[in-house]
Structure 1
Amino acid sequence: MKENTNEMILVFDSIPVNEGLARVTAASFCTQLNPTLEEVADLKTAVSEAVTNCIIHGYEGKINKIEMKLQYHGNELYVHITDYGIGITDIEKAMEPMYTSKPDHERSGMGFTFMEAFMDEIRVESQPGKGTTVHMKKTIGRKR
């Protein structure tokens, strides 16, 4: 019997209104795995944080493209969110709670912390001047 798999890619402009589009798209895709409401809420929060980071930090408010790839294999959901912006010079530092590269903005520096809290795994790849990809994984249906 073939394993339950699917994937999709959504490419959208780095404008704030599209953060909501990314959240809803990820939630809709996830419903194929029959998630709990809590699992959907966790996913939406993590996606929101990753996309917001692309808009504010990756492109510094300039309009460019964000790519969100969603996949599942069995009950494992994978989310990959990529920008082609300025990149992160020190990933470890950027992932520290309360760290922000924009202290003059009304941001708390908790984006990566929230992603880590709501997803099972998170990995960040980045090259200065080339962009950043956040890879996240969540097992759906584990608590049932």
Structure 2
Amino acid sequence: MYDNMIKIEFLSRSQNESFARVAVASFASQLDPTIDELTDVKTAVSEAVTNAIIHGYENGGGMVKIEAFIQGRELTVIISDDGRGIDNISLAMQPLYTSRPDLERSGMGFTVMESFMDNLKVESQNGKGTKIIMKKVFKSLS
């Protein structure tokens, strides 16, 4: 059982990326995070949502879902889409790899998520979408 949780669903439009980032940061604020911890979460959420919009739905229609859970001092954020999925997860997670070179993407999304969160797991199926599970443990208040 979790101490607290939220679920959010929104249209896969780039305008909603900032909403998602702020919503998760607001939820995480109950853990009394440092500014750096909050920035880490916002950056990782931004990258995951952007991936869903640009790669999952290829800037087309679809819904992005966010679930966030707090248990003790740990925040779990799950960002999922029902888009095209990832052909090769290990390749997609390599720094500088991008499936959309036409958009001049940097290919650093997963690397950024891994560096700002304590744990990252990616699940995906072709034609069925992608789920990104990220965890962050917040330092003790004492």
TM-score, reference length from structure 2: 0.97
C-alpha distance in 2, partners of 1:101/1:127? 16
Deviations along 1:72-114, one digit per CA (max 9) or x if unpaired, are 1000100000000000010000000000001111210000000
Give how far 1:4 is off. 7.1
Does the CA-based 8 Å contact 1:88-1:94 persist in structure 2?
yes
Does the CA-based 8 Å contact 2:85-2:124 persist in structure 1?
yes
Structure 2's unaligned 5+ residue stretches are: none
Given candidates 81, 84, 90, the residue that maps to 1:83 is: 81
RMSD over aligned CA atoms reads 1.4
1:22 aligns to what? 20
C-alpha distance in 2, partners of 1:120/1:81? 16
C-alpha distance in 2, partners of 1:6/1:65? 23
Does the CA-based 8 Å contact 2:121-2:134 persist in structure 1?
yes
Identity in percent: 53
TM-score, reference length from structure 1: 0.95
2:45 corresponds to which letter in structure 1? V
Does the CA-based 8 Å contact 1:70-1:77 persist in structure 2?
yes
Structure 1's unaligned 5+ residue stretches are: none
C-alpha distance in 1, partners of 2:111/2:130? 17
